Amino acid sequence: MLEPRRITERLDGLLREIGATQVGGFRFGAKVLAVSEIASQYYCEKAVELGRIHGKRETPEMKIGGDAHEILLKDAIRAKREKILREIYSGKPVGVREMPLIGKHGDAVIVGITDAILFSKRLPVLLVEHKFSMKHVPFASHHVQARLYCYLLYLMGWNIDQLKYAIVMASPSLEDDPELRRIPLHVMWSSKEERMLVKLARGNAHVYINSFDIDKAVADLDWALGFWRKLRRPVPTKKSAKCKVCEFGDECDSSQRNNL
């Protein structure tokens, strides 16, 4: 594991590299790729392409997710990264919300902001992603997103030997439940992969605890980069239910709305 100074130097170096690049070598001239957009490729890659062409539109689900994340940050302490690193390296348990992550995988600079990371004894031990939906089971894209955040921690120089990730599925109606922010503390020391039901004031949250598999994360990313490197065409979803609610149904030549 790198020392705080080295982690900061690595981050600053990547930021300077991004700033010095006028136009990136990826599809649409992208200089950096966001974890959230890469994860969305596993939901429907065609929608990712159309979002780049026509502009990303905010769906009601995205609006709810954004509002909820603001509520989760209500009690978070906004601190400079140097102070956060000092606290982490003190060895005491530290929770960091909305921690910016950045790393370079081959020729690709990947960036993201995860919901929360818990550190203990100078190590990241649990990465948490909240998903506000009426569904109780995470999509494959949710796991891709969480694994990529974990991978960015590795690229930044953190020791990931004890790292797990948790996906918290909660109804949008529970977004202001104060207990939601405390869920990571309940699952922090779980020693196995499991699904937990956490009772909140006005309902339940479904928590999925997973071991981090770096090989899966790399495989996920390499497949996604094939699109950004212009090695293949976008792969549309085969699920008509996704097409039914897609904001790009009118523009998409692969839409299955007519098959519903």
- Beta strand 123-132 with 164-170 is parallel
Please tell me the chain's helix, strand, coil percentages from 3-state DSSP, rounded to the nearest 5: 45, 25, 30
Domain of residue 46: give its range. Answer: 4-259
Alpha carbon of residue 8 to chain centroid: 21
pLDDT at 221: 98
How far apart are alpha carbons 6 and 18 in whole angstroms?
18
Instruction: Kindly state the helix (H) or strand (E) to which residue 32 belongs, with its residue range.
Output: strand 32-34
How far apart are alpha carbons 112 and 36 in whole angstroms?
7
Considering its fold, how many domains does the chain have in total?
A: 1
CA 249, 251, 255, 257 torsion-angle sign: positive
Only one residue has tokens 């939901």, namely: 43
pLDDT at 1: 67
Name the H helices within the chain: 4-20, 35-54, 60-72, 81-89, 140-155, 183-187, 214-228, 240-245
pLDDT at 189: 73
pLDDT at 73: 56
Per-residue pLDDT of the chain (260 residues; tens, 9 = 90+): 667 778 878 878 887 877 777 777 899 998 889 999 999 999 999 999 999 999 875 555 445 455 655 655 555 544 577 788 889 999 999 999 888 888 999 999 999 889 999 999 999 999 999 999 989 999 999 999 999 999 999 999 999 999 999 999 999 988 888 888 888 877 777 767 889 898 888 889 999 999 999 999 999 999 999 999 999 999 999 998 899 889 898 889 888 776 65
| Domain containing residue 165: CATH number | 3.90.320
